[in-house]
Structure 1
Amino acid sequence: MSRIPVLIAGAGPVGQLSALLLARQGIASRLIDRRPRPAEAPKAHAVNPRTLEICESVGVSAEGLRREGASANDAGWVRFVGTLTGTEFGALPYERQDDSALADTPYPLTNIPQPKFEAALAKAIEAEPLITFTRGIACTGLVEVPDGVTAQLEAEDGRRDTLTCDYLIAADGAGSRLRDMLGIAMEGPEVLQHNLMIHFEADLRALTDARPGVLYFLFQPGTSGVFIAYDRGRTWVLMHPHDPATEPRDSFDEARCGQLIEAAIGTTPPALKIRHVSPWTMSAQVAECYRKGRVFLAGDAAHRFPPTGGLGLNTGAVDTQNLAWKLAAVLKGEAGEALLDTYETERRPVAQVNCEQSLTNASKLFELFGALYGRDPARMQAHYEAVAANPKASAELAAAVEAQRPHFDSFNLQLGYRYASAATIGAPALQAAAGVDISDYRPCWEAGAHVPHRLVKTRSGERVSLLSLLAADRFAILAGPGGTSWREAAAATGLTALRGGWDFEDEAKGWTELTGLPKDGALLVRPDGHIACRFEGGTENAAALLGEALAQVLAR
């Protein structure tokens, strides 16, 4: 029987990032996936700024991912149309992909098909000796033992093996078998809508050059659904709502899918090739708990969101960023076991906010149906045709389109989430989901917040993001210009030690204006970039104060 510090079940983006983040901390892992080969269907497409920052921190080039993604011109719009080539009822920008986002992040959101994203992560994994990655292996059973978890593994050919690990990360997706084995229930509506994903290849640039976009919501009666343009010249998906009770999956053969695509396009398309057809169910659920013993849920295994908002993959990426450094600290003997309890305390509230917002986004789309179809089912077609004849004349339609704007501008959810737990000191209480403005991101230097991006000048004269100076494998001290004692105490403890005015300089704003701290104040920053606590001076006993804070945060 072999043993490994961490077993990761599920090799989607969250599982792969888990392995890379643990390796960055010096922790070996075994990554398995029951699929014998990577999935080819495009699935998720939005990789937001925080996820890109996480990728950069583990050696996966954020700029490389952005180059692989669709251009902001191609993927910068959401359009509400009758059919792809029919009447347009309105359009909104899709997230902040242009240079306007650079004040708050070095890497604006990009749209990249999930298989491409996974391939970039897999390439980094291949070069990492601390990661053993095997496909075609399923975890079929779990037994917790006094000092770990024994997992029963089964290969595609039926061969069986056992593996003991100190901890296990269940990143095995929305239908998580491991979550079911653990008896962890999901909270929230399980079935909101049944959909069919029809993945096809076609060059539709000539039909969409005048109206480029990443999402095309279809409203012509009889032709509902959404087109996702992963690559307008090749890769498309039609999300088609259906009732499996009356329309089983088997009834959607290639001919029928082709008819649905042609009707949704609104004209005879160029040659197209249907690649995949698969059913899926829209849910809005969060697991009742994220941990059972030595097993942790991450990503879609912990939360299932409607796709309205593109929050699922990205929430999962930050889940594992939060968990990986804590597991590493415990495994290295630097932290107490209680630190691991803060994973759920910190991440579950974020998932609840994101789940609620995704559900709100989906619900608001019904305002468009009301404006376009009217309230009288008997007159739906006539009402639609009247609005379609002159969309600009409908104030109700304009208001319904504008109501969708937050759906496609979740900048604050991407960057502004905060934590309040035993792994922070003095963090303000969290806002209820209803009180969170999802678009209005305001950089914050309070305990529990993520260190904001600032363009700073280093001692060598290079201009970089402040975030790039923070190592992902250790705590850091950010001290004010008068914080020499803090810098010395941090260096003596093995932390990243940075003093404003010496190691970096913000030429736009001074230390106190930025942070609200005096010049001899400091911030203790965790490996995940979140501020653990603030020091209002105290340079005469900086080493003692730093030691006490680390002991409290690390539960030791």
Structure 2
Amino acid sequence: MPATPVLIVGAGPVGQLAALLLSRHGIASRLVDRRSEPSTAPKAHAVNPRTLEICDSVGVPAARLRAAGASANDAGWVRFVGTLAGPEFGVLPYERQDDNALAHTPFPLTNIPQPKFEAALAEAIAADRNIVFTRGVACSGLVEGASGVTATLETEGGSTTTLDCSYVIAADGAGSTLRDMLGIAMDGPASLQHYVMIHFEADLRALTDARPGVLYFLFDPKTGGVFIAYDRAGTWVLMHPYDPDAETRESFDDARCRKLIEAAVGATPPPLQIRNISPWTMSAQVAERYRQGRVFLAGDAAHRFPPTGGLGLNTGAVDAQNLAWKLAAVLKGEAGEALLDTYEIERRPVAQVNSEQSLANAGKLFDLLFALHGTDPARTEKHYAAMETASRPPAELAAAVEAQRPHFDSFNLQLGYRYASVATIGAPDLAAACDVDISNYEPSWDAGAHVPHRWVVHKSARVSLLSLLPPDRFTLLAGPAGAAWRAAADATGTGALTAESDFSDIETDWSRLTGLPADGALLVRPDRHIACRFDKAVNDPADFLKRQMAQILAR
């Protein structure tokens, strides 16, 4: 076996989380990134509950991440405005950030600029002896052999070296070099809209204190785009649409971008400093396959979504969680190679749903533009001017704003995804499972579902049930009369917890909660998804559990 078990290419959030998750299983990795310094562009900002739960499980405290993000009061609203200082045509809440979310997660969504998020992960990586992290190194070649992969690594100075590893995780972003190297195509539209991202620093609190928010969609036809308020006191981005056939990237110089910002603000702004100007293209694509031999795509390398939904980074985080425990099980000889096939089987359908929803969200925003501007471009400004001076938004505009609500409330997409593969025994049909109301999350204890968060009493403390499920092993949750299952778990080296003994639900009992009898049990995977349900006693629980585990682990 090669000395390096896993090479991870790309040190964004997904690559870093993959390294930390592997380390929890005792698996060493080499993490490389072509950039010599971390990116300072704010990029993603929404870190959802599931991603926070994953972070907390690998020693990056979710409470610390939430404290570093914007407050729910600052980042709890989406506003539809003419300009930042102009009229407001509607407002919607942004995701579930209040205490009501605590019924379903210990960590409500937070808004934190991606550089801050990455820095918190990098701090944990620096303290982890299982991870060797090197910047300024790109992967320029892969050659797969019978027992591993030889990767060619190239420094910024042009020197090259080779590294032998067992597996490779390609987490090198939307423009993945490794994906192209492997010849893996993307399904879906590659070019939906073009934008220039203008990252600037300015204190715009005086203009927004009365209307705090995280997103300000701009509908004055003389400007357009959206403001993202990462920190109203300092960090902002203006996403401005442009036509690459009529305008060049070079035309968006500092002077022009300042004028665009001033027009979008709609008033004389305070002093501002432009940090970065970068064009990008909106797409909605999912890789046709996630695996080629010993190389796996993860994160944006596997899927590219419109930003309308905040699902990209978070989908990638769960990719890392799903893949890490499976790689670890195979590398430690606990599972067969076929287990790795379930990574694509389980994660690609989730990415497809998230891509389609992100695309639908973008389409509804275009509908809103039509409601604001009318269908006749020659009369757009006149139509908008009438809207601007109206005492209240017309009915069609109010309806178009209300139609955006699911875009900013994807709670079920964040928490309700489930899997159906040979690594989940008795899971419901995936097609039905993916046909979801994106906002209405109904906790499920079915096979394939993620164990729901519950507040339980454990050792006299109120904790989330999720915190009792370690990310590095299977755990058997036994009912209060499940002593035989508990003994079977002990006999097979599986972790176990018994209801009413090791933990007690604060609000209800085991059977009402899970739908299982008192002598039933649940087998939970390291990624906290339910592998199977045991709804009755069997003659030889240890042998039965052993056989179920063998099926799940493809051995």
Quickly say closer, same or farther: Cα 1:391–1:334, change in 2 above 3 A. Answer: farther
Map of 1:122 onto structure 2: 122
* 2:417/2:433 contact within 8 Å kept: no
1:433 positional shift: 8.6
SS at match of 1:380: helix
* 2:89/2:393 contact within 8 Å kept: no
Map of 1:325 onto structure 2: 325
Equivalent residues in 2 for 1:541-552 (5 A)?
Answer: 541-552=540-551
1:507 positional shift: 2.6
Equivalents in 1 of 2:162, 2:132: separation in Å?
Answer: 15
Equivalents in 1 of 2:507, 2:432: separation in Å?
Answer: 33
Q: How many residues are matched?
A: 555
* 1:485/1:540 contact within 8 Å kept: no
Map of 1:553 onto structure 2: 552
* 1:139/1:151 contact within 8 Å kept: yes
Map of 2:262 onto structure 1: 262
Map of 1:515 onto structure 2: 514
SS at match of 1:513: helix
SS at match of 1:392: coil
Over residues 67-110 of structure 1, what are the superposed CA-to-partner deviations in whole Å (9 max), with x where a residue is unaligned? 00000000000000000010000000000001010000000000
Map of 1:138 onto structure 2: 138
Equivalents in 1 of 2:393, 2:265: separation in Å?
Answer: 25
Quickly say closer, same or farther: Cα 1:277–1:127, change in 2 above 3 A. Answer: same
| Structure 1 residue 427 corresponds to structure 2 residue 389 | no
Map of 1:69 onto structure 2: 69
- Report the aligned-residue RMSD: 1.2
* 2:4/2:30 contact within 8 Å kept: yes
| Structure 1 residue 103 corresponds to structure 2 residue 100 | no
Equivalents in 2 of 1:378, 1:145: separation in Å?
Answer: 63
Map of 1:336 onto structure 2: 336
* 1:476/1:497 contact within 8 Å kept: yes
Map of 1:364 onto structure 2: 364
Equivalents in 2 of 1:332, 1:5: separation in Å?
Answer: 10
Quickly say closer, same or farther: Cα 1:198–1:433, change in 2 above 3 A. Answer: farther
Give 2:87's aligned amino acid: T
Give 1:553's aligned amino acid: I
SS at match of 2:540: helix
SS at match of 1:450: coil
Q: TM-score, normalised by structure 1?
A: 0.99
For structure 1, which segment, 403-412 or 489-498, has the greater mean C-alpha deviation from structure 2 after superposition? 489-498
- Indicate the percent of aligned positions where both proteins have the same amino acid: 74
Quickly say closer, same or farther: Cα 1:393–1:75, change in 2 above 3 A. Answer: closer
Map of 1:304 onto structure 2: 304
| Structure 1 residue 83 corresponds to structure 2 residue 83 | yes
Map of 2:219 onto structure 1: 219
Quickly say closer, same or farther: Cα 1:553–1:97, change in 2 above 3 A. Answer: same
Q: Give unmatched runs, 5+ long, in structure 1.
A: none
Equivalent residues in 2 for 1:24-103 (5 A)?
Answer: 24-103=24-103
1:8 positional shift: 0.1
Over residues 354-375 of structure 1, what are the superposed CA-to-partner deviations in whole Å (9 max), with x where a residue is unaligned? 0000000000001211211112
Quickly say closer, same or farther: Cα 1:136–1:449, change in 2 above 3 A. Answer: same
* 1:449/1:530 contact within 8 Å kept: yes
* 2:2/2:148 contact within 8 Å kept: no
SS at match of 1:396: helix
Equivalents in 1 of 2:308, 2:320: separation in Å?
Answer: 22
Equivalent residues in 2 for 1:99-248 (5 A)?
Answer: 99-248=99-248
* 1:356/1:433 contact within 8 Å kept: no
* 2:10/2:172 contact within 8 Å kept: yes
For structure 1, which segment, 425-434 or 237-246, has the greater mean C-alpha deviation from structure 2 after superposition? 425-434
Quickly say closer, same or farther: Cα 1:482–1:425, change in 2 above 3 A. Answer: same
* 2:417/2:434 contact within 8 Å kept: no
1:509 positional shift: 1.1
Q: TM-score, normalised by structure 2?
A: 0.99
Give 2:242's aligned amino acid: H
1:408 positional shift: 0.1
Map of 2:494 onto structure 1: 495
Give 1:498's aligned amino acid: L
Q: Give unmatched runs, 5+ long, in structure 2.
A: none
Equivalents in 2 of 1:500, 1:402: separation in Å?
Answer: 43
1:2 positional shift: 7.6
Give 2:339's aligned amino acid: L
1:159 positional shift: 1.1
* 1:483/1:539 contact within 8 Å kept: no
